[in-house]
């Protein structure tokens, strides 16, 4: 039972750090922490709760569920921000590529050739 509570507490701590990383934009660290949190939650399957502690475990699991909702919302915000940045970058590239035809390509004309009509 104490192992179950320990894993839940660790998962909550890791989840809070993951949320902080998402808010600050540290995606790689958030991904690493998400994997760690998943591993800790996966370890819960091995333990059976004691009937007397079910209410306490339920409270911890509800906190974990709430944290998951916060993580999901923050990840969606980050996703939409990245999507807008990508859209803006594509528009800028399209705009800049329009100038490509106005520049001459190829060799510059030789300064030794004179054009007479």
Q: What is the pLDDT of residue 14?
A: 95
Give residue-wise pLDDT tens across range 59-91. Answer: 888 999 999 999 999 999 999 999 999 999 999
Q: Which residue range forms the structural domain that includes residue 8?
A: 2-77
* Segment-wise mean pLDDT, segments of 10 residues, the chain, 117 residues: 80 94 91 93 79 82 93 94 94 84 62 66
Q: Given this model, what pLDDT does residue 71 score?
A: 94
In this prediction the pTM is 0.71
In a domain, 106, yes or no: no
DSSP string, 5-50: HHHHHHHHHHHHHHHHHHHHT-HHHHHHHHHHHHHHHHHGGG-PPP
* Number of folded domains that form the chain: 1
> Is 66 inside a domain boundary?
yes
Q: Is residue 31 part of a domain?
A: yes
């Amino acid at each position: 039972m104490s192992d179950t509570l320990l894993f839940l507490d660790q998962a909550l701590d890791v989840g809070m750090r993951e949320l902080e990383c998402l808010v600050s934009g540290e995606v790689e660290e958030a991904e690493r922490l998400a994997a760690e949190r998943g591993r800790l939650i996966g370890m819960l399957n091995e333990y059976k709760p004691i009937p007397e502690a079910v209410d306490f475990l339920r409270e911890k699991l509800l906190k974990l569920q709430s944290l998951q909702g916060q993580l999901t919302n923050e990840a969606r915000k980050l996703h939409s921000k990245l999507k807008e940045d990508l859209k803006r970058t594509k528009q800028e590239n399209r705009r800049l590529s329009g100038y490509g035809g106005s520049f001459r390509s190829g060799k510059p004309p030789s300064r030794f050739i004179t054009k007479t009509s």
